[in-house]
């Protein structure tokens, strides 16, 4: 059994309409190439800095908002599943939001949503990030079925926490939309993705923002799909790019059969 998947690496701006137009063009291109599942990066609809007073102005309620309505219409138009990297969802606490990854089906339904569990904090004296200033941490792990494959959902900084992926149980592919910084991505992006794929004997797709944004923020790019043996099947550099790959259930079975590490676990 096979599934064709596309990672849409973007360099998003502050302008939601501009970003949605770009995402739509890329989804249309991916669909025309036979893709069944398309994945958008974290903050695909809007990326800002912590100094931007309007950085949360595009937040929405789950299943109620213009960004979600647009994605649902596009999913139906092109008959694809969309894993919508992340959008800001309103919480019950004023001025606090969830950073959420949505799975939208070809019939326009929201099949699952995952609220990012681990919130990024980084300060090297030059750049500072503290997501907890506006975000609430999620408290649930999320997996879902797409065309016979079990997907695990995670976002960006989650990549550094292997216990989250173990908690997913046995999955076929983990999808991680991201806006990894250039500094941390250069040091650890590929290393951690390959480690998570090997540990969980599954495919791992990291879909990143990819370059210098209008705010001056620089994200790492290098979106990639790694197979269950830890081999990089396809990857990008920086810039806007669509990468395509096919995941194969036989490959998963082969790796787990010749090295049944998941069956050998003694500590859970």
| Residue positions annotated with a catalytic role | 42, 116, 156
Cα–Cα dist 265/201, whole Å: 13
CA end-to-end span of the chain? 29
Kindly compute the dihedral angle of the four CA atoms of residues 243, 224, 219, 191, in this order, to the nearest 10 degrees.
-170
Cα–Cα dist 227/235, whole Å: 12
Cα–Cα dist 225/221, whole Å: 13
Q: Could you tell me if 210 and 241 are in contact, meaning their C-beta atoms sit under 8 angstroms apart? A: yes
Cα–Cα dist 208/236, whole Å: 10
């Amino acid at each position: 059994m096979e599934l064709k998947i596309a990672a849409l690496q973007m360099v998003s701006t502050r302008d939601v309409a501009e970003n949605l137009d770009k995402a739509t063009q890329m989804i249309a291109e991916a669909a025309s190439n036979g893709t069944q599942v398309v994945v958008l990066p974290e903050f695909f609809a809007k990326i800002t800095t912590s100094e931007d007073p309007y950085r949360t102005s595009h937040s929405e309620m789950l299943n109620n908002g213009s960004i979600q309505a647009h994605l649902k219409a596009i999913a139906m138009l092109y008959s694809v599943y969309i894993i919508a990297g992340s959008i800001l969802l309103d919480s019950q606490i004023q001025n606090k939001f969830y950073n959420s990854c949505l799975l939208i089906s070809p019939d326009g339904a929201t099949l699952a949503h995952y609220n990012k569990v681990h919130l990024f904090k980084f300060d090297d004296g030059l750049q500072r990030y503290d997501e907890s200033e506006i975000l609430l941490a999620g408290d649930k792990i999320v997996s879902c079925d797409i065309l016979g494959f079990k997907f695990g959902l995670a976002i960006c900084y989650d990549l550094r926490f292997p216990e989250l992926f173990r908690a997913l149980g046995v999955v076929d592919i983990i999808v991680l939309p991201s806006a990894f910084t250039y500094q941390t991505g250069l040091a650890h992006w590929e290393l951690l993705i390959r480690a998570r794929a090997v540990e969980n004997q599954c495919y791992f797709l990291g879909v990143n923002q990819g370059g210098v944004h209008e705010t001056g923020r620089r994200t790492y790019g290098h979106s990639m799909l790694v197979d269950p043996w830890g081999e990089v099947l396809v990857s990008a550099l920086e810039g806007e790019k669509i990468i395509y790959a096919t995941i194969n259930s036989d490959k998963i079975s082969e790796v787990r059969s010749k090295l049944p590490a998941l069956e050998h676990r003694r500590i859970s």
